[in-house]
Amino acid sequence: MDYLLIVAEHLTASQPPSPRNLKYAVLHLQAAAEVLLKARLQLEHWSLVFKDPALANRRKFEDGDFESCTTSSALTRLRQIANITIDEKSIKAIETLSKSRNALQHYGLKTSARAVESRAAQVLDFLITFVHDQLLPELPGTEVDKVIGDLDYAGEKLRTIRSFMDTRLKRLAGELRDVRHRTLKCRECDQWGIVVGDGNSSVSCHFCHVLWGPAETMLHSWVITEENWLGVEIDVCPDCDHQALVADYVRVAEAPEKRCTLCFFCGIKG
């Protein structure tokens, strides 16, 4: 819980968070995710936190002298063995956080602060709910009040972050009102902020300001980060003659539940 409180404080120390605050927020958030997920896994059976449960040793477990599973493996085991429902969006946010943590630890902040903040807020939200639903019921009565107090504090900080984000999103909604039919969700911040269809001008996210490059370059980067991207075909657009048309696959802000045809160069939507 201490990790979560530190994360909440770093994310709300300033707006936007400074690179230093973001660095330590991500480092502590990754630690919190790993500890809390494995705490629930341990409730299922202590051997499940070992990298290889078949080699689990009780004495090594009690001494803390063993190699534990990865965060990704913990998520898989919680879903498949403990039968806990964890939505794909949360899993993706946690996995993205892990990558950010490694990059931050070795190279410093190399991506947009807004993107890191957005992803961190998603993970913090997930972990607060996870503790409340999966761990709190298992705690002895003497510890429950303390944890509830910590959860309330972290939740209050999270609402502050959401307030800042909601303000930016409302402003962004006004700016992009007329281009929702060609606005995509950003892979970095998970917000509807990428507008394509302006020729070969450089594309960036209006929310987190991550630069994706010229339209056709951006298209290839976008396609290979799509799930099941091997089935995505890029065709020549009949309107602008550029090879930038993705048929029956793109989701846009105007109707996110449906897939449509869109030219990333001229913005023609079908």
pLDDT bracket for residue 225 (50, 70, 90): low
pLDDT digits (tens, 9 = 90+) for 133-146: 999 998 888 889 88
| CA-closest candidate to residue 232, choices 214, 211, 246 | 246
The DSSP output letter for 99 is H
Q: Which of 69-78, 113-122, 179-188, 232-241 has the lowest mean pLDDT?
A: 113-122
pLDDT bracket for residue 127 (50, 70, 90): very high
d(CA 196, CA 240): 14
d(CA 177, CA 157): 30
Phi, psi of 75 (to 5 degrees): -60, -45
- The answer to whether residue 85 scores a pLDDT higher than 60 is yes
Residue 211 pairs in a beta bridge with 204
Rounded to the nearest 10 degrees, what angle do helices 2-11 and 113-130 cross at?
A: 150
Q: What's the whole-model pTM score?
A: 0.73
Mean per-residue pLDDT, 176-189: 91
- Tell me the domain boundaries of the chain: 2-174, 177-263
3-state secondary structure of 17: coil
